[in-house]
A and B are shown apart, each in its own frame.
Chain A
Amino acid sequence: MRILPKLSVALVFAVLLLNGCGTTGEAEQEQGAVAGGGAAAGSAEDAAAAAAAAKAAEEAKARELAKEQEKQALETGLLAQRVVYFDFDSSVVHDESMPMLKAHSEYLASNGNKITVEGHCDERGTREYNIALGERRADAVRRILLANGVSASQIKVVSYGEERPAALGHDEKAWALNRRGELMY
């Protein structure tokens, strides 16, 4: 499992600090208590069941922690960037978007999460042509994710053409913001 090493260690630290007490500490305490209770009950079966329950609880907590980590990761640095911008009538992804897409690819490849890539256009041109152009843009982003280790089953594509603009103006300033691909988790 590939984790961005420094970042994740810092995050775990942050989570632990935020929670006040260490989760591992809690689990240890729980196990101790359960073991004590099991001994008091006096049956080996009971003790095994209790231990299994404790283990499941610990695993659930670990999964929750991992999810929390993932969510926090998505809010920092390159992973917080979700938009790729395009030139008029073009679906070419510029070099400047590559570091961000690589970061998302690593993230997805490591945790198997799913993502939808949305393709969008500015208002010029006809609506259905723009649905197709939006598809081209979304697909261009998808191919970069695939090339960087994400598997096809993780990626869904949808095109909104010109129907969902990010900016409502009728000038190049607005149009430039609308010609985009968006990564939606």
Chain B
Amino acid sequence: MSRKQFITILVCLLLGTLAQAAPLTIEITQGVETALPVAIVPFGIEGERKPPDDVAKIVAMDLARTGRFEPMDEKDMLAKPSQPENIKFQNWRLMQQEALVVGKVKHEEGDRYTLSFWLFDVYKETQLAAFNVTGTEPNFRAAAHKISDIIYEKLTGEPGAFSTRIVYITAHQDKKDTLLKEYSLWMADADGFNPQVLLKSKEPIYSPVWSPDGQKIAYVSHESGKQQRIVVQEWSSGARNVLTVPLSGRQSAPAWSPDGKKLAFTNHKDGNAEIYVLDLASKKVQQITSHWAIETEPVWTPDGKSIIFTSDRGGRPQLYKTSANGGAVTRLTFEGVDNARAAVSPDGKTIAMVTGIRNDSTSRLEYKIGVMELATGFLKILTDGMLDESPSFAPNGSMIIYATTTRRGRGELAAVSVDGSVKQSLAYEDEVREPAWSPFNNK
């Protein structure tokens, strides 16, 4: 028996310590019809000190956010075992739970804790996983996210992306001068917690991308002289480097090669935009495209052999592919009015893009996120906004985060599963745009 489930989780703006502030509120707006009922029992507490956070709650929220699980409400739990010996599976079956997680947090010395948990299949009464995870006071949420990753993988066969991060950009409107904006580049956990500002500027910041080693963010800002330049910033130290390239003109649209050694980018000069590749060690550049039309928004395929980019050489923007050394160009997209801003899935089989579609009744051009199978060319539209853009894959390939504009005209982030079945919205108090999901190794 299937039922439509709309799960709403609001992560509220907590007044209190900065470590707990979560300016991004995340809401599941659509879940899968067959979300798995899972019970995550509040963890038992051992030792002198109380843990700084509620592990079971963090895990439940992580799993719920994927839209594929329906965690049981703690209030409905009649028993709250914290060890396997105390579990009566029959009771959990009666409450229609299919998976069960029990665990405990033990305070060790100083600020260290050991989080232990067991995962069970309720109907088969078999143990699927048992792990101890170490957590420290400042990194406690990270330990809980690790538990979510393990549970997710055991139950779905896919790696979890709960220990990942996102970067995004906010634009703050000055109340007096409504057109003056202050731009901020933020980094936060994938669930919106622990946000930190990496850069604040009165000049626009855009196109943030993670380096493959998860240590650096490249972005475009209008530095001294106000022209657009690419900046590479190490997020942990704040050290930043404005890239100088042996080209005249202005640079934007950075894209890291999968091995992290090169940066593809767009050089703008004399009204023309071409794609180049910069070797970060030698500082040499190689021209990849050569055409009077606009060529921009380069992205690499995961094998490092090809670059997919946007060009309007055919009249309207479309996606094209060339080798990482340039040369022959093949067109990839043929549907819709235009297609731009490709993002490649981690397995290299799918690309997400911004597809412009003419609304037949209003005759307005609307921009939505589409995904296309590279092998077949089959395009599926995943979203239904008017101005959706900036798609970015989660490193496990399960979801795409993107920027959308609400009907009232506010910029927000949203996420959709690659099959379109799960939708989330992520709101902030300011205009938010240009999300980028980190790779797995971002610590």
Q: Does B423 contact A (CB under 8 A)?
A: no
A160 touches B204 (CB 8 A): yes
Q: Of B268, B312, B367, which contacts A159 at CB under 8 A?
A: B268
Known A116-B226, A156-B227, A164-B204; contact A131-B271, beta-carbon cutoff 8 A: no
The chain B residue with its CB closest to the CB of A160 is B204
Residue on A with the closest CB to B269? Answer: A135
Taking a contact as CB atoms under 8 Å apart, the answer to whether A139 and B270 are in contact is yes
Mostly, the B contact residues are strand
| Inter-subunit contact A91/B228 (CB<8 Å) | no
Residue of A nearest to B295 (CB): A132
A170 contacts B by Cβ under 8 Å: yes
- A138 to B228, Cβ gap below 8 A? no
**Cβ-Cβ contact count across A and B, 8 Å cutoff:** 103
Contacts of B266 in A (CB 8 A): 128, 131-132
Q: Which residue of A lies closest to B180 (CB)?
A: A164
B29 at the interface (CB under 8 A from A): no
A169 nearest in chain B by CB position:
B409
Contact A131 B354 (CB under 8 A): no
Question: Does A38 reach chain B (CB closer than 8 Å)?
Answer: no
CB distance from B66 to the nearest CB of A (A): 27
Residues of B within 8 A of A89 (CB): 316
Looking at the complex, which one of B225, B228, B294, B387 makes contact with A129 (CB distance below 8 Å)?
A: B294
Residues of A within 8 A of B340 (CB): 125-126, 129
Give the contacts of B167-216 with A (CB-CB under 8 A): 178-179, 181, 204, 206-207
CB distance from A34 to the nearest CB of B (A): 44
Contact with A along B296-340 (1 / 0, CB 8 A): 110000000000001010001100000000000000000000101
Q: Which single member of A124, A133, A143, A158 contacts B294 (CB below 8 Å)?
A: A133
> By the criterion CB–CB under 8 Å, are A168 and B387 in contact?
no
Q: Within 8 Å CB of B316, what residues of A?
A: 89
Contact at B207–A128, with CB atoms within 8 Å? yes
In contact, A126 and B341 (Cβ under 8 angstroms): yes
Most buried by B among A125, A127, A142: A127
| Residue of chain A at shortest CB distance from B353 | A126
Measured CA separation A84–B273 after assembly (Å): 21
Q: Which of these, A129, A136, A158, A163, contacts B271 with CB under 8 Å? A: A136
Given A127-B389, A129-B310, A129-B341: A158 touches B297 (CB 8 Å cut-off): no
- Taking a contact as CB atoms under 8 Å apart, the answer to whether B228 and A126 are in contact is no
**A55–B252 Cα gap in the complex (Å)?**
50
Chain A neighbourhood of B270, CB < 8 A: 139
A131-185 interface (Cβ within 8 A of B): 131-133, 135-136, 138-140, 142-143, 156-161, 163-166, 168-170
A170 / chain B contacts, CB cutoff of 8 Å: 386-387, 405, 409
A163 near B204: Cβ-Cβ < 8 Å = yes
Which residues in A have their C-beta under 8 angstroms from that of B250?
135, 157-159
B405 touches A158 (CB 8 A): no
CB pair A135–B273 under 8 Å, yes or no, is yes
**Measured between alpha carbons, how far is A126 from B297 in the docked complex, in Å?**
9
Contacting pair A126 B317 (CB below 8 A) = yes
Complex contact A127–B390 (CB within 8 A): yes
Tell me the complex Cα distance, A166–B177, Å: 12
B228 and A159 form a contact (CB under 8 A): yes
**What residues on B are CB-neighbors of A128 within 8 Å?**
206-207, 252-253, 266, 296-297, 310, 341
Indicate whether B222 reaches chain A with its CB closer than 8 angstroms.
yes
Q: A24 CB to closest chain B CB, in angstroms? A: 40
B434 contacts chain A at the CB level, 8 A cutoff: yes
Please determine whether B207 and A135 come into contact, CB atoms closer than 8 angstroms: no
Residues of A within 8 A of B150 (CB): none
Within 8 A of A (CB), among B393-437: 405, 409, 434
A-facing residues in B44-97 (Cβ within 8 Å): none
Nearest-neighbour CB distance to chain B for A27, whole angstroms, equals 39
Contact partners of A123 in chain B: CB under 8 A = 387
Contacts of B220 in A (CB 8 A): 131
B365 at the A interface (CB under 8 A): yes
How long is the Cα–Cα vector from A133 to B405 in the complex, in angstroms? 22
B291 CB to closest chain A CB (Å) equals 12
How far is B155's CA from A57's CA once the two chains are assembled, in angstroms?
A: 85
Select from chain A the residue with minimum beta-carbon distance to B339: A126
B231 to chain A, nearest CB (A): 15
Query: Bound complex: CA of A123 vs CA of B434, how far in Å?
Result: 14
CB atoms of A132 and B296 under 8 A apart? yes
* Most interface-central of B227, B270, B296 (chain A CB within 10 A): B296
Contact status of A129 and B405, CB under 8 A, knowing A135-B273, A158-B222: no
Residues of B within 8 A of A159 (CB): 228, 250, 268
> What's the least CB distance linking A108 to chain B, in Å?
19
B253 cross-chain contacts in A, Cβ below 8 A = 128, 131
Q: How far is the CA of A124 from the CA of B387 in the complex (A)?
A: 7
B297/A135 in contact, CB under 8 A: no
Which residue of A has the minimal Cβ distance to B409? A170
B310 touches A126 (CB 8 A): yes
- B residues near A160, Cβ cutoff 8 Å: 204, 222
18 other A-B residue contacts (CB within 8 Å) besides A128-B341, A156-B227 = A126-B297, A126-B317, A126-B341, A129-B294, A129-B296, A131-B220, A131-B296, A132-B268, A132-B273, A135-B272, A139-B270, A142-B271, A156-B225, A157-B227, A160-B204, A164-B179, A168-B178, A170-B386
Which 6 pairs show the lowest CB-CB distances between chains A and B? A139-B271, A163-B204, A132-B273, A126-B341, A132-B294, A126-B340
11 A–B contact pairs at CB < 8 A? A124-B365, A125-B338, A128-B297, A131-B253, A132-B266, A132-B268, A132-B273, A136-B272, A138-B271, A143-B271, A156-B225
